Structures are given as structure tokens and as C-alpha cells.
Amino acid sequence: MLNGLKTLGTGLAMVAMAAIMSAGAAAQAGSGTVLAAAETTKLLPASVWFKGQSATTQLRNSGGVKFPDGMFVLATLVDTSGYSSDVQEKYQAYFITEVPIKIEGHDLAAGVYGVGFIAGDKFDVLDVGAHELFTVSSHKDAELKRPMPLKVVAAEGGYRLYVGRNYVTFSK
């Protein structure tokens, strides 16, 4: 009986340790809540303003993060059919951040932006006038089992914004 209690106590201690480690990993990942399209459709507009035009958003292809302080980072793909080909190459999604963040280590102030994955494994960030603010290297996730048009996932040290298999990391 005493050995059974020791084994139970050891098992409970291991479960508690695993829970503590999981909580620590979640905190390191940014400790925000990842939002799926069903949640972001309630927050994002049906159309957005970019480079002198109103464009329809693809709310079914959206995602984001709600941080513990109630602030959001949101992204949605946009129908860019009315834009010139040079804008379409760089502008694929509308990106809103209510707090300063880092994208691939590059500072981005709170605001509204156009973003896109471009040739050469690059990611462009543009202001709403389509002026390029910065470009960072992007990554391809060959191991991703089910690529989606757009999604956000928690990752070590922050979050990943995916468009298909391409992604960039961001953190608060």
C-alpha cells in the first residue's frame, strides 16, 4: 500500500511538472489566444481601404491573436483584382496591429498595413498608400500537412502568419 501511494505521488508530481512546463511554453509563445476565421470575422470589416481603393476582404481566410491585455493582431486576405499587377504582387492581405510588434525581428508600430509574400522568399509590409515600409525574409514550411490560404499559429517565441506554406514570425 505504501509503495502504491509513493507511485501515485510520483505520478501526480510528474503531471504537475508537465503542466507547469506547458504553461511556461505558452507564456513564451506570447500567451495570447490564437483566433481562427470564425472569431476574426466578427472583428474585421467586409471591405478595406488601400491605395485609393476599397477592396473586399476574404473573411473566411483570416486569423489573428488576442493578447491578454485585450489588444489584437488581425490579418485577412483581400480581393486585389481591381489593383494594378505591381500592387497585386506585394499586397495580398490586410494586417492590423493594435500594439507594436516585431516581424522577423523588425519593429512594426501599431497601425493598419498591407502585406504580402513576394518572390525570393520575402515578405513586404506596406502602408495604406502602398509605400513599402520594409521587407524581411520569409520561410517555407515543407512539413506543413494542410496549408491554408491564411492562418495564424502559436510558435516558439511568438506566432507565425502563414499564407499557404509561406510564413513569417511575429511577436509582441
Q: Is 22 helix (H, G, I), strand (E, B) or coil?
A: helix
**Mean per-residue pLDDT of the chain:** 87
- Report domain extents, the chain: 1-30, 33-171
Do 147 and 162 touch, CB atoms closer than 8 A? Answer: yes
Over residues 89-112, the pLDDT tens digits come to 999 999 999 999 999 999 999 999
Note the pLDDT of residue 31.
85
Q: Report the share of the chain in percent with pLDDT over 90.
A: 81
Distance CA 152, CA 140 (A): 14
Q: Which candidate, 161, 149, 165, places its Cα nearest to that of 95?
A: 161
Whether the CB-CB separation of 79 and 96 falls below 8 Å is answered with no
Coil/strand/helix, residue 145 = coil
Rounded Cα distance, 113 and 150, in Å: 16
Q: CA 50 from chain center: how many Å? A: 20
Average pLDDT rounded to a whole number, residues 81-91: 91
Of 110, 127, 85, give the one whose Cα is nearest residue 172.
110
Query: Pairing mode, if any, of strands 122-126 and 148-155?
Result: unpaired
Q: Does residue 25 have a pLDDT over 50?
A: no
Q: What distance in Å separates the CA atoms of residue 123 and residue 168, rounded to the nearest whole number?
A: 8
Do the beta carbons of residue 92 and residue 116 sit within 8 Å? yes
CA distances from 70 to 25, 26, 32, 56, 73 (A): 20, 17, 9, 26, 10
pTM, full prediction: 0.81
